[in-house]
């Protein structure tokens, strides 16, 4: 994805369709060669910023909210409880969940859960720490606002998925689960959007730390 080319990528009209398609893909995925269009550079930077912020957000929401509440697709771990007064049922675990644990599922389901909710975040951290093409996004305010807008669009997409499939990936915005409590759904949506600039700030700090550590030091005594 980090296709930084020193020369502008031109599409030769005499090439075959396959080469034209490849050139168009290279042009789309590569950053602008000149700073003549700040809007395009901003959207390109925002694209990669969202690609780093969203996996971290999804991992936090999934392992910190969905799994403990029993909506992670597998049985959540048991919680400490009073045997005389279990919090969520006789077995001391949270309700409405499959009976099997994560590694008791089919291998493909276990792989899918780990890949979607964990591996993507690992890849994001690898890019942030080891790829010098990932720079601090500027303007900061513009990127923070863009990340929040994309988070709101993510919730709208989740609602569209609910209408199309009848299943909501985020239970806290599902009116069939959170019944007669619209204020809870509104608060959950606001909280989801509100944490996005915090994650963006965290990513920005990691990038700044890497750039500071790897910066070439100029010794004035030389």
**81 and 143 fall within a common domain:** yes
**75-94: pLDDT as tens digits:** 665 655 444 444 444 444 43
Range of the domain at 176: 38-214
Determine contact, residues 199/57, Cβ cutoff 8 Å.
yes
Number of domains comprising the chain: 2
The model carries a pTM of 0.72
**4 and 71 fall within a common domain:** no
Q: Which residues of the chain have pLDDT under 70?
A: 1-9, 29-36, 73-105, 217-222
Separate counts of helices (H) and strands (E) for the chain? 6, 0
What sign does the CA torsion over 78, 82, 84, 85 have?
A: negative
**12 and 118 fall within a common domain:** no
Q: Decide if 219 is inside a domain.
A: no
Q: Decide if 221 is inside a domain.
A: no
**66 and 100 fall within a common domain:** yes
What pLDDT is recorded for position 37? Answer: 72
**120 and 186 fall within a common domain:** yes
**92 and 134 fall within a common domain:** yes
Q: Decide if 220 is inside a domain.
A: no
**1 and 87 fall within a common domain:** no
CA distance 49 to 205: 13
Q: Bin 180: left if φ > 0, else alpha if -120 < ψ < 50, else beta.
A: left
Helices (H), 62-166: 107-114, 120-130, 140-165
Q: Take residue 41 and report the two structure tokens written for it.
A: 């550079």
**86 and 51 fall within a common domain:** yes
């Amino acid at each position: 994805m980090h296709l930084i080319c020193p020369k502008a990528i031109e599409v030769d009209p005499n090439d075959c369709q396959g080469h034209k398609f490849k050139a168009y893909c290279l042009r789309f995925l590569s950053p602008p060669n000149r700073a003549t269009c700040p809007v395009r550079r901003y959207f390109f930077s925002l694209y990669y910023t969202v690609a780093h912020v969203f996996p971290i957000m999804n991992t936090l929401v999934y392992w910190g909210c969905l799994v403990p509440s029993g909506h992670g697709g597998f049985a959540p771990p048991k919680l400490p409880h009073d045997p005389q007064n279990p919090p969520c049922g006789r077995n001391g675990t949270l309700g409405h969940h499959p009976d099997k644990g994560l590694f008791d599922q089919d291998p493909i389901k276990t792989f899918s859960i780990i890949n979607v909710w964990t591996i993507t975040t690992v890849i994001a951290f690898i890019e942030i720490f080891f790829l010098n093409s990932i720079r601090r996004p500027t303007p900061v305010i513009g990127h923070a606002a863009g990340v929040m807008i994309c988070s709101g669009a993510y919730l709208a997409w989740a609602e569209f998925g609910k209408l199309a499939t009848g299943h909501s990936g985020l239970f806290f915005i599902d009116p069939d689960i959170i019944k007669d409590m619209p204020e809870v759904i509104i608060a959950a949506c606001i909280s989801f959007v509100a944490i996005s600039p915090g994650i963006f700030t965290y990513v920005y700090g990691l990038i700044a730390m890497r750039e500071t550590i790897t910066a070439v030091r100029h010794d004035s005594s030389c």
